[in-house]
Chains A and B, each alone.
Chain A
Amino acid sequence: MSEFFTISVLVATVASGIRLATPFLLAALGETLGQRSGVLNLGVEGVMLLGAFGAYYTTLETENTLAGILVGVGIGIVMGVLYGVVTLAFKAEQGISGIGIFIFGLGFSDLLFQSQVGTPLPIDRLSELEIPVLSEIKWVGEMFFQQHALVYVAFLLVPTMWYLINRTTFGLNVRAVGETPEAADSLGVSVDRTRYAAIIIGNALAGLAGAALALELGIFQQNLTNGHGFIAIALVYFGAWRPSRVMAGALFFGMVSATVLQWKTLGIVQGTTASVVAMSPAVLTIVVLVFVSRRIGAPSALTRPFDRGR
């Protein structure tokens, strides 16, 4: 255990924890916005997989990472429109439609991968973007300022999302339609339009989260996300629908994962123990959720379709 508690290992662990937290954070921030508008999307995992494949395939073909990222986001937007039509225009049951989106994403991303690529060809991974001056700082620089671009994007999105929800007209509309859509409607706020916008932004971020995962690993395979999207949904509850607390949850999860990886690398845990410890992030999340979330702050209209005149 003593080999874990050296400065260099700890610094590396924190740096990798932040990196591992990034896809969770992106997806969870998007889901936060969607849920604040009253729409639950259990299909985050599926959208992430499609976004991941889109980003991977585009980068493989064009060798342009930025194009990959944009395609990932674009796929998220398309899925957002689709989910909006299903849940808003057709008022389908949100829990079930989300599971449908997940299964679709899981199957379709693998189908495309098998037919278009076949064998897992590696692509260029996202390169580190060293922030001038700040990355020079001892330890701190390595932890925070030698990350890839999407890490910075994700963490800058935390205050941005807070501002969007709490300090803009759009955010006020989102909060209103997520709590009391009837009241918003009676004041001329379009419930559907507001929810469409929130869902589309949310899904775009899920697509981006998938892209971040694929481009960071430089690979795609069946079920690449392996539960990331579901954890992200749990983090929204864990974070009580507030971007800063969602970030805390994502970081907590990333740190635990990074620690487990580090222990495995250092041989502190081995074999069956390693497998058991590897489950700990998920177990810890559930345990914390049980204690933390008493559904305080849940948008009252979450999962409730709005039907005027009813």
Chain B
Amino acid sequence: MADLKPGDVMLEMKGITKRFPGVLANDRVDFDVRSGEVHTLLGENGAGKSTLMKILYGLYKPEEGTIEFRGEPVDISSPSDAIDYGIGMIHQHFMLVPTLTVAENVALGLGTGSRFTQDLGPVKDRIRELSEAYRLHVEPDAYIWQLAVGERQRVEIMKAIYRDVSLLVLDEPTAVLTPAEVDDLFVTLREMTGSGRGLVFISHKLHEVMDLSDRITVLRSGRVTGYTVPAETSRENLAQMMVGREVLLAPNRTRVEVGAERLSIQGLNVESDRGTPAVTDFDLSVRGGEVVGVAGVSGNGQRELAEAITGLRHVESGNVLINNTDTTNWTPKEVRGAGVSYVPEERMRDGAIGAFTVAENLILLNHDAPPISNRGILQFRAIDTACSDLVSRFAVKTPTLETPTSSLSGGNIQKLIIARELSSEPTVLIASQPTRGVDIGAAEYIHSVLMEQRADDVAILLISEDLDEVMGLSDRIAVMYEGELMALMDREDATVERLGLLMAGVAEEKV
């Protein structure tokens, strides 16, 4: 095992081809990892990054291609084979059992002790040792459900280090982390490459890729479309390789005259599903022609805030005013009537019905009124006209209006939802994570639509975890932490560092 020197090829995947019904997910992909390096796999959703790594981890079987590990051809047909070779994977969705402790999660599958006994003592000791060595703080006796996402991420990494993996795949590990946590993660990862491990980093956050990678391979539609090193490229360049055309990373912002106050939140208190306070004494206002960004790590009350404004969640105390009308605890339909549209964060749960056709999803808002329906009878000709118009206006790529929505890509579903929400010509738009998990091309388009709405005097509340998005689109930025407004600032005063600290709950001295 110790025979690899830093820089020696550790893993070599050659000519990997994988087909799914109707899709060529990997098309003769070559990919290698050397000892002691971070090799980034970059690509849009559906470009084939995860497929390639799932093949490496034994979750999928490729139709063609070979895998060599440490110079030997290997056949990996299940995760336990991969583990035996010393290959570890941190999945995009955490692979942790919430009802078990950290130590139990680490010990799972190791067969520590004999089959009939389980002594976690040595496991806990080893976890403490490794915590120290890799500056990776985890508490062996804590239950996973008690931990915050950043801590869970550390447990995932602990699982890999504990198994002494020589190659670790990290599938979008930073998606749920604050900027400070990302920095900590990168320190640990560099510690790992320093000891000769090879890392595969999967991400679409370009500045992180530029920061961490030694080499970068770009995939598009299942094929390798680029190969580079950070010193020879730029974020714009990488985006172009991913999308296949030039991309505007920062939206064009025009100067817009700020209008009347359209949304006003005063002393708002809202509870979470579990009945604990989710939003506490929250004040915020948005004027026409203005984008106010709400930055924060997911789960700090953003969803509850959006739902309270849109009438989906009960307001305990405080007021919501839409165009100077108090709409507190109105029904969702009444709130919409007052001029509010809502793009929810959970697109497939709250935003669209997967089994419905594109047309059915597009008319969800106005199916009960002429011209879409007449005395309760749906008017198909009118639906067809209205929906064709929306689909072309908002560039929704769909084969037909009768296509089931679930078969569209994430970006197109999001465009569909935005098309429907804007079809009512709102004066206030609540957009939650509007481009999360959406490909760069669609994200660029959605940003341009939001900017058009801003120019049309719409008040936009943009809730997002993506700091680039918040800083790129907003006129003012609010930071939310544990349900409270940590700070509200003009966009010119915001930096990633400042927002990152506030998102982690570090309060600023009042100036």
Chains A and B form a bound pair: yes
Which residues of A pack against B, CB within 8 Å?
167-173, 175-176, 179-180, 182-190, 300, 308-309
- Residue from A176, A180, A308 with most neighbouring chain B CB atoms (10 Å): A180
Given A185-B79, A309-B60: A179 touches B115 (CB 8 Å cut-off):
no
Chain B residues 75-103 with CB under 8 Å of chain A are 78-80, 83-84, 89, 91, 93-100
A186→B118 contact, CB < 8 A: no
- Residue B59 contacts which of A179, A187, A189, A308 (CB distance < 8 angstroms)? A308
Question: Which residue of A has the minimal Cβ distance to B84?
Answer: A188
- Residue A172 contacts which of B57, B91, B104 (CB distance < 8 angstroms)? B104
B100→A187 contact, CB < 8 A: no
Give every chain B residue within 8 A of A309 (Cβ-Cβ). Answer: 54, 59-60
Supply 15 A–B pairs (Cβ within 8 Å), ascending by A: A168-B115, A171-B118, A172-B100, A172-B118, A173-B108, A175-B100, A182-B91, A183-B97, A185-B79, A186-B89, A187-B109, A187-B159, A188-B80, A189-B108, A309-B54
With contacts A173-B108, A173-B109, A180-B95 known, what are 16 further pairs, Cβ within 8 A?
A168-B116, A168-B118, A169-B111, A169-B113, A169-B117, A172-B104, A176-B97, A183-B105, A183-B108, A184-B97, A185-B79, A186-B57, A189-B109, A308-B59, A309-B54, A309-B60
B79→A167 contact, CB < 8 A: no
B95→A182 contact, CB < 8 A: yes
- Residue from A167, A182, A187, A189 with most neighbouring chain B CB atoms (10 Å): A187
Give every chain B residue within 8 A of A184 (Cβ-Cβ). Answer: 97, 108-109
A183→B107 contact, CB < 8 A: no
Give every chain B residue within 8 A of A185 (Cβ-Cβ). Answer: 79
A180→B96 contact, CB < 8 A: yes
Give every chain B residue within 8 A of A167 (Cβ-Cβ). Answer: 117-118
For the complex formed, measure the closest distance between the CB of B189 and the CB atoms of chain A, giving whole angstroms.
Answer: 20
A185–B78 CA distance with the chains assembled, in angstroms: 9
Give every chain B residue within 8 A of A308 (Cβ-Cβ). Answer: 59
Give every chain A residue within 8 A of B159 (Cβ-Cβ). Answer: 187
- Residue A168 contacts which of B84, B100, B117 (CB distance < 8 angstroms)? B117
Give every chain B residue within 8 A of A169 (Cβ-Cβ). Answer: 111-118
A183→B117 contact, CB < 8 A: no
B98→A188 contact, CB < 8 A: no
- Residue from A170, A172, A175, A182 with most neighbouring chain B CB atoms (10 Å): A172
For the complex formed, measure the closest distance between the CB of A135 and the CB atoms of chain B, giving whole angstroms.
Answer: 32
Which residues of B pack against A, CB within 8 Å?
54, 57, 59-60, 78-80, 83-84, 89, 91, 93-100, 104-105, 107-118, 159
- 5 cross-chain pairs, A with B, having the tightest CB-CB distances, nearest first: A188-B80, A187-B109, A183-B95, A186-B95, A189-B109
A223–B108 CA distance with the chains assembled, in angstroms: 43
Give every chain A residue within 8 A of B99 (Cβ-Cβ). Answer: 175, 179, 300
Give every chain A residue within 8 A of B112 (Cβ-Cβ). Answer: 169
A188→B109 contact, CB < 8 A: yes
Question: Which residue of A has the minimal Cβ distance to B57?
Answer: A186
A308–B78 CA distance with the chains assembled, in angstroms: 10
Give every chain B residue within 8 A of A189 (Cβ-Cβ). Answer: 108-109
A188→B78 contact, CB < 8 A: yes
Give every chain A residue within 8 A of B104 (Cβ-Cβ). Answer: 172, 175
Give every chain B residue within 8 A of A183 (Cβ-Cβ). Answer: 94-97, 105, 108
For the complex formed, measure the closest distance between the CB of B79 and the CB atoms of chain A, giving whole angstroms.
Answer: 5
B108→A176 contact, CB < 8 A: yes
Give every chain A residue within 8 A of B91 (Cβ-Cβ). Answer: 182, 186
For the complex formed, measure the closest distance between the CB of A87 and the CB atoms of chain B, giving whole angstroms.
Answer: 21
B108→A172 contact, CB < 8 A: yes
Question: Which residue of B has the minimal Cβ distance to A185?
Answer: B79
A300–B99 CA distance with the chains assembled, in angstroms: 9
Give every chain A residue within 8 A of B115 (Cβ-Cβ). Answer: 168-170
For the complex formed, measure the closest distance between the CB of A173 and the CB atoms of chain B, giving whole angstroms.
Answer: 7
Question: Which residue of B has the minimal Cβ distance to A170?
Answer: B115
B117→A187 contact, CB < 8 A: no
A182–B83 CA distance with the chains assembled, in angstroms: 15
A179→B98 contact, CB < 8 A: yes
- Residue B97 contacts which of A171, A180, A190 (CB distance < 8 angstroms)? A180
A169–B108 CA distance with the chains assembled, in angstroms: 8
A173–B80 CA distance with the chains assembled, in angstroms: 14
Give every chain A residue within 8 A of B83 (Cβ-Cβ). Answer: 187-188
Give every chain A residue within 8 A of B117 (Cβ-Cβ). Answer: 167-169
Give every chain A residue within 8 A of B78 (Cβ-Cβ). Answer: 188
A187→B118 contact, CB < 8 A: no
Give every chain B residue within 8 A of A182 (Cβ-Cβ). Answer: 91, 93, 95
- Residue B100 contacts which of A179, A186, A188, A190 (CB distance < 8 angstroms)? A179
Give every chain B residue within 8 A of A300 (Cβ-Cβ). Answer: 98-99
Give every chain B residue within 8 A of A190 (Cβ-Cβ). Answer: 80
A155–B118 CA distance with the chains assembled, in angstroms: 23
Give every chain A residue within 8 A of B113 (Cβ-Cβ). Answer: 169
